[in-house]
Amino acid sequence: MDGFSSLWSLTVVLGPIVLIVLIAFALIRRRRLTPAERVSQKAETERGYNEPEQMH
């Protein structure tokens, strides 16, 4: 039972550290929109709100 206890302790300690590192990596690597992409996104969003909803 001692092996399980030490494995669990290791998991409890390293789990949050790994999670924080992965979240930080994702935030750092996130690609920002270019100004042209932002304008296009805004125009498409406005178009989506202004067009009537289509039933499929």
pTM of full prediction above 0.85: no
Give the integer Cα–Cα distance in Å for 10 and 21.
16
Tens of pLDDT, residue by residue over 6-30, are 899 999 999 999 999 999 999 999 9
Confidence of residue 37 (pLDDT cuts 50, 70, 90): very high
In this predicted structure, the answer to whether residue 1 has a pLDDT above a threshold of 70 is no
Domain locations along the chain: 2-50
Give the integer Cα–Cα distance in Å for 4 and 9.
9
Q: What is the pLDDT of residue 26?
A: 95
CB 33 within 8 A of CB 41: yes
